[in-house]
Amino acid sequence: MAKKDGGLRFQPSGGTRTPQVPVGKKQKLMIERLANDGRGIAFSDGRTWFVSGALPSEQIEARVLAAHGKVVDARVERILSASPERLVEPCAHARVCGGCSLQHMPHADQLALKQRMLAEQLSRLADIQPDEWAPPLYGPAFAYRRRARIAVRWDAKAKRLDVGFRAAASQNIVAIAECPVLVQPLQSILSGLPAVLGELENPRAIGHVELFHGSASAVLVRHTAPLSETDLARLQAFCVARDAQLWLHGETEPQPYVEGQALGYHLATWDLQLAYRPGDFVQVNTQVNEAMVAQALDWLAVTADERVLDLYCGLGNFALPLARRAREVVAVEGVRTMVERAAQNAASNAIGNAHFFQADLSNPLADAGWLGEGFAAVLLDPPRDGALQVVKQIAALGAKRVLYVSCNPTTLARDSVELQRQGYRLKKAGILDMFPQTAHVEAMALFERP
């Protein structure tokens, strides 16, 4: 009698498994069109390739970053036949840095790509389009960014401090001494930062560095261990030489090295000065932010006898300009420190008809005392996950006009379905180019109810 085989045997359920494309493999491709995120799309061997840095009609050699079934993520390794639309990237690090992804594309084409992405999301997810498309709202294509986070990591093997930005699709740090999308005052700070951090007695203590520019420039140093007096003096001298404030972030909240120093930004059209601290949300693009606020007020057309609700109000970026026109503005934010800061901003600008409240906007608003007699108009500027719970209650507030500022067209489209259900019509929509040289899309949409 034959001996039984005690081992388990697995039979294939049918067909053969397609072997995965190995990471690092190089592949020649013809790019057919662009995806919504600006990557080129190619088809080869039954797979769909998404290639960063490629343009339609180009023949390129791509390097595989990741593969999932029949979808391959890759980046351009070599351009074999370039599109006539291709630009030479102003930044030497554009193809490896994770900050910018569209420097090879003309700015007008970037705007068209973002406009198409917004239209497709609204059409596909909400079956909706506006009565009127607004022209894109944009500013300078470079030198626009007024805040940035700089990655810092001690390389124990090489015994050096790496300072720069994260690489695309990687945790590696790209050493960068110049970044053309930063505003000019931050350029000079960035260029000298690697040297001064590398001279510290304990560079391992540095977690990361953040740069800010507004009414003043500032350098925030996040440290995981106390810094010596020598290192503090070195950092302060570096900041003074570049007309910047030094802020420190250890175990407690960020604090200025020189007591009493403060940060802020100016909304010139409304003669407003808004104070903030590192960690507060501030729009990165000065010119587009001011144009965005102006367009929001123009679209909402608030009159002097109207009561307006501003949800996700932050520091008062919309609420305080609205208060210049409305009878009353009720502004609501989920983070208590931001509510306090916004109220202080109202007081420092002598605005008495804006009132600020803290509330969890993911919960029903029915019991909120600040609802009062309702509102003629509502403005909301939610985070990326949108504002579905709030939107479900908009009609009950009595608002005839709703202005939705979105940093995610997908959740804007989802929430638009709910607004339509309540009888609102999408009157206007358009993109806000808050982040040139990237595929990030921000949008503004105006809804009205008869």
217 Cβ neighbours under 8 A, 6+ residues apart: 185, 186, 189, 211, 242, 243, 244, 245
Token duo for residue 78? 């070599």
Catalytic residue among 91, 97, 239, 407: 407
Which structure tokens are listed for 72? 């391959």
Q: Which two tokens stand for residue 295?
A: 């367009």
3-class SS of residue 299: helix
Helix residue ranges, H only, 166-210: 184-198
Q: Which amino acid is at 325?
A: R
- Between the alpha carbon of residue 389 and those of residues 19, 289, 359, 397, the distances in Å are 44, 26, 13, 13
Q: Which two tokens stand for residue 413?
A: 């489209």
CA distance 35 to 105: 14
What Rg do the C-alpha atoms of the chain give, in angstroms? Answer: 26
In sequence order, which residues have a C-beta less than 8 Å from that of residue 235 and are 6 or more positions away?
Answer: 196, 200, 219, 221, 227, 246, 257
Active site residue 407: yes
First to last CA, the chain: 88
What is the rounded CA–CA span in Å between residue 119 and residue 128? 9
Nearest CA among 27, 248, 66, 282 for reference residue 168 = 66
Find out whether 359 and 344 touch, Cβ atoms under 8 Å.
no
346/329 Cα distance (integer angstroms): 11
- Strand, coil or helix: 232: helix
> Is-contact 420 383, C-beta < 8 A?
no
Where does residue 252 rank: exposed (0-12), middle (13-18), buried (19+ CB within 10 A)? exposed
The Cα–Cα gap between 42 and 51 comes to: 8
**Cα 212 vs. chain centroid, distance in angstroms?**
15
CA atoms of 68 and 236, how far apart (whole Å): 49
CB atoms < 10 A from the CB of 350, how many? 6
Q: Active-site residue numbers? A: 407
